[in-house]
């Protein structure tokens, strides 16, 4: 009887571990959607929430899939500045206010070729900055005033 009980407990544990592994494998990366006058655009995003993640950003990447980007999340709205130090691909920087509206887009920012690197500003307080491939905003007709549906949870 005791042997059967032990075997049953082991089987329950194996089933639980299998379910946990499956859930981890099925976990989808976060998505963000931009709602514009012409429709919606959905992107897979990496999320940078820590100072170290935000500082590293998309540095040293030689490519970025078309519908991917990086969402920089800050603790409170403020005027944010970005540069392209060690960034190898041109990017669009989409600055998003705390009401999830796009308030500024800096388009086709080239990689920094030499120091000092130019600095690009939101101009107004923002809570989020989305970096995508250069030209992405134009290709998808994304403009200031569009709404961003953020991944949940952040």
How many angstroms separate the CA atoms of 120 and 37, rounded? 26
> pLDDT per residue over 87-131, tens digit each?
999 999 999 999 999 999 999 999 998 899 999 999 999 999 999
How many angstroms separate the CA atoms of 154 and 152, rounded? 5
| pLDDT classification of 37: cutoffs 50, 70, 90 | confident
- The domain spans of the chain are 29-149
Smallest CA-to-CA distance from 148 within 125, 127, 121, 123 is with 127
Does domain 29-149 sit in CATH 2.40.30.20? no
DSSP, collapsed to helix, strand or coil, labels residue 126 as strand
Q: What is the helix, strand, coil percentage profile of the chain, to 5?
A: 25, 40, 35
């Amino acid at each position: 009887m005791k042997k059967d009980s032990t075997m049953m407990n082991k089987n329950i544990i194996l089933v639980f571990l299998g379910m946990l592994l499956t859930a981890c494998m099925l976990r989808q990366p976060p998505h963000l959607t931009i709602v514009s006058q012409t429709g919606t655009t959905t992107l897979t995003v990496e999320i940078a929430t820590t100072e170290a993640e935000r500082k590293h950003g998309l540095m040293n990447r030689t490519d970025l899939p078309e519908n991917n980007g990086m969402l920089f999340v800050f603790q409170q709205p403020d005027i944010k500045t970005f540069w392209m130090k060690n960034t190898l691909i041109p990017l669009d920087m989409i600055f998003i206010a705390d009401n999830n509206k796009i308030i500024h887009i800096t388009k086709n920012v080239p990689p920094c070729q030499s120091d000092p690197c130019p600095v690009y500003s939101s101009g107004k307080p923002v809570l989020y900055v989305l970096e995508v491939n250069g030209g992405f905003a134009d290709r998808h007709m994304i403009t200031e005033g569009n709404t961003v549906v953020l991944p949940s949870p952040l």
